[in-house]
Structure 1
């Protein structure tokens, strides 16, 4: 697996900054199969972007999850206290006026609990919204500027360069062959 990764990294993958002052990164994949090159490039860029955003915002996301859980818990307790007060009133219909303590004390406790949880809930909601705003500020903006489009650019040697380089290569091979044959004939005549 290490050999495959190093072969891809060394021969087929080019990652470079366009300009040292800008934070634009250029990713190129070289392959004979243009569909593979396009898909590999897109998948690689998406994976790296997702990982970067996740690592940059992980702590804030964890804080939001904790605050959301606490907010939901307090909201549930507050709703339970409100329901409890209503149930107490419903459970004591036609109460004897001399026994008001059976209704008033539990009702006031439930109302006090509901009011306390309401204050806590408002503070938690405020903190949750501030944490969400902070997460939005911390989340880096990553944008793909130029997505590969098929058909991809194929890099090839032009006709003039090909003829010129072929001529030089042919000349060098001819000189090498003539030199070797001259040395071989000379060594036979000695």
Structure 2
């Protein structure tokens, strides 16, 4: 008798629960995989604020930059984040990044906003259109697979750009030399 009831309820379960949940997960990009390529990317002029500590708090720093740019009547472009510390090997309180937005060449932000440029360089790019909860894990797993397959270190900084719901993570193929603070893309 119980088996007959389960058989009767199965179509309703599929229709009411399983199919909608599967559609939402598909919409969010759960079944997508990141596209990868080696390309020349860069010459990004960006406005940013420095961020230290857990990377989970970068979105609030991004909001600060957006607020400042809007107050200064500067049109923000795509979101950009430069990751300077490997979270696998760096204590979370010592993580360092820059969070900001790409801006036009003629934009002149004032303090506290800082401006820098990511030069053109050859990079490994992983990109995906997916919900942020899924996108970062999928792109960085492709970057780490590439690093492991080439038996090379993770070259930092990685550059994360979000444009029209597409996350692109760019890792330089050659290590970026350490330089003075606020010069190029080194902290």
Normalised TM-score (structure 1): 0.20
Q: Say which structure is richer in helix.
A: 1
Normalised TM-score (structure 2): 0.20
Q: Say which structure is richer in strand.
A: 2
User: Radius of gyration: which is bigger?
Assistant: 1
- Using CA pairs under 8 Å that are at least 6 residues apart, name the structure with larger relative contact order, 1 or 2: 2
